[in-house]
Amino acid sequence: MTTRQADQWGVNVDSLPDFWVDAEKLSIIQDFMFSGINVMLTGDPGTGKTELTKRLAQAHQLPFHRVNVGAIRTPRDWFGHWEFIGGQTVFIQSEFVAAIQRPGIVALDEFNRVTPDIHNSIYTILDHNREVYIEETKQHISVHPRCIFIATENRGRSHTGTFMEDTAVSDRFETIQLELPPVEIMAHLLEKVYGAETEQALLLARITHKLNTLYHEESLSRPTGFRPAISATALLKRGQALNTALKYTFVNRFSPEGGVDSEQTTVLQVIQAYLK
């Protein structure tokens, strides 16, 4: 990784070490970031959305703060919480409030895991105003000019636990959709980063792509991202047999219901075809 000085703010990198992202998308994401435009990363689970937010911070040597948006229960949780200390209730300001007042990347991870009313209280932070009034501490907070917001959200028909965000929020972000790395690149990463053997890495990447294609063709009910291949690699490295490793990673994620017509049967057929 190249070392960057603070005065190199806004200089794009053209790749990230050990992480694949389409070159054009990477440059557009950085152009948005350094223009003060909020970015929304979408894509199937396991396409590297969360990881990319972190890698961008590393590549640009920026402080990084991740908000697990799914854990926010009330609209005021963004800003802090009340605690009973020494006989009185005091407001403990959140790390988020500190993070937005300094340069860095603030990742709003899994933004669509909550209902839109949870988003309401940060609208003014995310639009051109870039400020917010915190009632609890009676403070006006201005977002630092070099504070960058990158949100992520899982999209897809299997995401029943998520909510379509309202236009008020989608108007505040430019959306970039991430995809799985191409088969050869995914295989290379499994080998280099996770220590898979060459042939097995290629097999795992092929199975991943095939199963994810079947999801998009609506033959399977859930997408297949990077994670099962990483887990299978771990089992193989621990000495498990190939069939066993595949069973506990790729296969068991799918329902056995329906016997020969089940999703598990479909997955097993895919695997058999690639093992030949």
Interface residues with ligand ADP (CB under 6 A)? 19-21, 43, 45-51, 152, 181, 189, 225-227, 230
Query: Which stretch in 17-25, 46-54, 88-96, 209-217 sits in contact with Mg ion by CB under 5 A?
Result: 46-54
Alpha-carbon dihedral sign for residues 117, 119, 123, 127? negative
**Nearest to Mg ion of 93, 162 (CB atom):** 162
The one among 38, 42, 47, 50 contacting Mg ion by CB under 5 A: 50
DSSP output for 122-147: THHHHSTT-EEEETTTTEEEE--TTE
What's the CA gap between 140 and 97, in Å, rounded? 11
In the complex, which residue's CB is closest to ligand ADP?
48
Q: What one-letter code names the amino acid at 130?
A: R
Q: What one-letter code names the amino acid at 248?
A: Y
Q: How far is the CB of 28 from ligand ADP (least distance, A)?
A: 16
What's the CA gap between 101 and 174, in Å, rounded? 22
Strand 39-43 to strand 147-154: parallel, antiparallel, or no bridges (unpaired)? parallel
What's the CA gap between 23 and 29, in Å, rounded? 10
**Nearest to ligand ADP of 173, 226 (CB atom):** 226
**Cα-based distances in Å from 179 to 63, 213, 221:** 26, 12, 18
Q: How far is the CB of 129 from ligand ADP (least distance, A)?
A: 29
CA atoms within 13 A on the CB side of 59: 20
CB 60 within 8 A of CB 12: no
Q: How many residues bind Mg ion (CB under 5 A)?
A: 2
Q: How far is the CB of 40 from ligand ADP (least distance, A)?
A: 13
**Nearest to ligand ADP of 141, 206 (CB atom):** 206
Q: How far is the CB of 51 from Mg ion (least distance, A)?
A: 8
In the list ligand ADP, Mg ion, none, the entry touching 16 (Cβ below 5 to 8 angstroms by class) is none
Q: How far is the CB of 131 from ligand ADP (least distance, A)?
A: 29
Query: What residues line the site for Mg ion (CB under 5 A)?
Result: 49-50
